[in-house]
Amino acid sequence: MSKLKNKVAVITGANSGIGLATAKLYLKEGAKVVISGRRQEALDEVAEDLTGDFITVLADVSKAEDNVHLINKTTNAYGNIDILFLNAGIAPPTPTTEISEAHYDEIFNINVKGPILAIKEALPHINDNGTILFTSSIVSKKGFDGLGVYSASKGAIRSFARVLTSEVKSRGIRVNAIAPGPIDTPIYGKMGLPQEVVEDMGKGFAAQVPLGRFGTSEEVAKTALFLASDDASYINGIELEVDGGLSQI
Ligand code: NAD
């Protein structure tokens, strides 16, 4: 059965990892999908692989004008939006003693300002009873060294989601966040760390997870499908951990 038949879904950070797995699953479930990312080459590559009704849109979420462009392209192609999945994010680590203004700005511009501006642009074009999803993270509830600014950014977006849940309630729009634990995606290779450090970090995370392993993008995508579909029709305002139990012990 197609759980998202004819629904229009916009996914940011959809050319890689969790966003790409979700785009594939949404297409399989009958949605029209707007696949957004900040690198044209990566968008072109995934477009070659995908089947279904989709467009790609080049947009850097940290730029106000790109968020306007993203929503304009979406409404021109498909009309109003049913599902807005604000997933793009970065996680470069830095110990607190070495935090620079540039480090702070980069993370907050992409992880916090980006989704907030995208929502502002999209809201007039989201159908009543639509759904907004965020990718937050369990890091806002834990204390992983070096991830101070990243953890703060994910905590900020979780707080924003609570307010939004209330502000859109009269339109029946549901707002939820997905908080992944360690998920095997390209994000770890983009942290600017040597490969062996990334591998040690990975082993350390996996050892702390009750299920003893990293999760997959597909496991998060299935959660994004559940929360966007009618199966979750009475689920609103939550942050759902997809972390093998890591944040619960
Ligand atoms: P990823 O690196 O594979 O995907 C991140 C996506 O965001 C990419 O498509 C990238 O191009 C996009 N992006 C980054 N900056 C952007 C910008 N300025 N404008 C537009 N797009 C931009 O990593 P992922 O693990 O799939 O990450 C997806 C989300 O999941 C992120 O928000 C991340 O913080 C969150 N997350 C990941 C993990 C994990 O362990 N992988 C854990 C918790 C939360």
Spatial separation of the C-alpha atoms in residues 101 and 114, rounded to whole Å: 18
22, 150, 185, best to mutate for ligand 1 pocket (most atoms within 8 Å of CB): 185
Ligand 1 center from residue 2 Cα (angstroms): 27
pLDDT value, residue 143: 94
204 CB under 6 A from ligand 1?
no
The three-class DSSP label of residue 179 is: strand
- In short, whether 140's Cβ falls inside 6 Å of ligand 1 is no
What's the pLDDT band for 234 if we cut at 50, 70, 90?
very high
Give residue-wise pLDDT tens across range 87-142: 999 999 999 999 999 999 999 999 999 999 999 999 999 999 999 999 999 999 99
- Do residues 61 and 88 touch, judged by C-beta distance below 8 A? yes
In this predicted structure, the answer to whether residue 1 has a pLDDT above a threshold of 70 is: no
Q: For 169-180, how does the pLDDT look when each residue is reduced to its tens digit (9 = 90+)?
A: 999 999 999 999
Domains defined along the chain, listed by start: 8-244 (3.40.50.720)
The residue nearest atom 3 of ligand 1, judged by CA position, is 17
Distance 16 CA to ligand 1 centre (A): 7
* Residue 201 confidence (pLDDT): 87
Q: How far is the CA of 31 from the centre of ligand 1 (A)?
A: 21
> How far apart are alpha carbons 10 and 194 in whole angstroms?
34
**Each residue's pLDDT tens digit, 14-70:** 999 999 999 999 999 999 999 999 999 999 999 999 999 999 999 999 999 999 999
Q: What pLDDT is stored for residue 154 in this prediction?
A: 98
Cβ–ligand 1 distance for 17 under 6 Å, the answer yes
* Number of the ligand 1 atom closest to the C-alpha atom of 150: 34
Among this protein's residues, is 150 annotated catalytic? yes
Gap from CA of 87 to ligand 1 centroid (Å): 6
Enumerate helices (H) and strands (E) in the chain, giving the number of each: 8, 7
Q: Is the CB of 223 under 6 A from ligand 1?
A: no
88 Cβ below 6 A of ligand 1: yes
Nearest CA to ligand 1 atom 19: 60
How far is Cα 221 from Cα 83, in angstroms, rounded to an integer? Answer: 14
**Which residues in 80-187 belong to E strands, given as ranges?**
81-86, 126-135, 174-180
Q: Which of 26, 78, 150, 188 is catalytic?
A: 150
Phi and psi, residue 235, nearest 5° = -110, 115
